Each structure stands twice: as structure tokens, then as C-alpha cells.
Amino acid sequence: MGAKTERCARWLVKTVYRLEARGWEKVPLSGGAVLVSNHVSFVDAAIIAACCPRPIRFVMDHRIFANKAWGWLFRAMRAIPIASAKEDPSLKERAFAEIAAALAHGELVCIFPEGRLSPTGELQSFQHGIERIVGATPVLVVPVALGGLWGSVFSRSKQSLVASWRQHIRRRVRAVCGVPVAPKAVSCALLEQRVQALGTGA
């Protein structure tokens, strides 16, 4: 993500929300690493970008990446589009290759291991892509928990459709960063547990 895009994300997030960011000093200041976060809303990437001290390459669904209205922004962010093996196996393999290259070049990559927006606000089971990523390129994995976004207009909560604008603007949200997990210890179960614990403790 370029410096201008980062500044725009921070300004936008801090204008719309009252953001509480904790633990972001735990993100390694250099070298390849992966952030793993729960996925509650369509603005999760912007929230994380606003908190993180480093540029991030986000991995996102190829359909969102191809959105005509926002595609320019995702390209500016150098996001990595991905598809399931069932949808487009070649795109999936290109995504994993691009992730490996980014990590090998010392970049920070963020993925949402649930693979989709939460339909309930609760943490969904993590898919095994993160294990494949770290297996190919052993790097630290940093758990992140987002809170306060369920029920916002950008979530899939049905309540958000009938909430007043005052319940969306200047809403309190939080992004909590946990202790990095060594590559040898990485598993879906452990990372899911860490993200769950961060969210509960937040």
C-alpha cells in the first residue's frame, strides 16, 4: 500500500469511527510476516491499515478486487486477488505464488482465514491456507482481532439496515494485535484460538 493510500485510510477510519488500537507495536518492523484477522465487515482492511505501522498487502476475494467502483483502490493497495480452487484453480495458485514472493521480499501480508465475511458476527472456522503459506515461506504470524464492527452498516447484520446514522458514525471500534506466532507453531486451530482470545479480552 502506498504512503498516500495509507494516509487516506487512516484519515477515513479516524473520521468515521472512534478507533482504539492496541498492541500494534508487536508487528515486526521489518521482514516478511503475515497478519491473520477475523472478518466482520467490508472495511476491515481499512481498519487494519489505519493501525499498522507498516504497509500491508491484503489478500482479497477476486470478485471484490474486480469491483468497478473500487478496483483502482485495491490496485493502489497492491492487494492480491484470490479464488477458491473450485472457482478458478489457476488464480488460486497465482495468489499463493504472489504471497510467497511478497513474503520472500520482506513484505507484510494480511489474510482473513475465515474466507468470507462473518454472517453472525462470531468467529468462523479458519481455513488451511495460512498453513500452506507458512509451510512454503516460514514467517511470523501475527493474530489480530477486530471488535465493534458487527452491526455497522458495513457488516452483514440485518440490524444495521434499520439503525440510525448516529449508530454508524463515530462508532467505537477496536483493533487488537497479539503476540506473533513462530512458523513452527502455526496451525489453524492455534491461530483461531489466539484471535478468539484477543477478541474476548478486548
Q: What residue spans define the domains of the chain? A: 3-201
Give this prediction's pTM: 0.88
Three-class secondary structure of residue 137 per DSSP: coil
Burial of 13 (0-12, 13-18, 19+ CB in 10 A): buried
Identify whether the C-beta of residue 140 lies closer than 8 Å to the C-beta of residue 183.
Answer: yes
Mutual angle of helices 188-201 and 129-136, in 10-degree steps: 110
Q: Which residues of the chain have pLDDT under 50?
A: 162, 164
Q: What is the pLDDT of residues 5-55, one digit of tens each?
A: 666 667 777 777 889 999 999 999 999 999 999 999 988 998 999 999 999
Q: Decide yes or no: CATH 3.40.1130.10 for domain 3-201.
A: yes
Return the pLDDT at 62. 84
What is residue 180's predicted lDDT score, i.e. its pLDDT?
A: 98
Q: Which of 176, 166, 164 is nearest to 202 (CA)?
A: 176
- With CA atoms as reference, report the closest residue to 132 among 188, 197, 91: 188
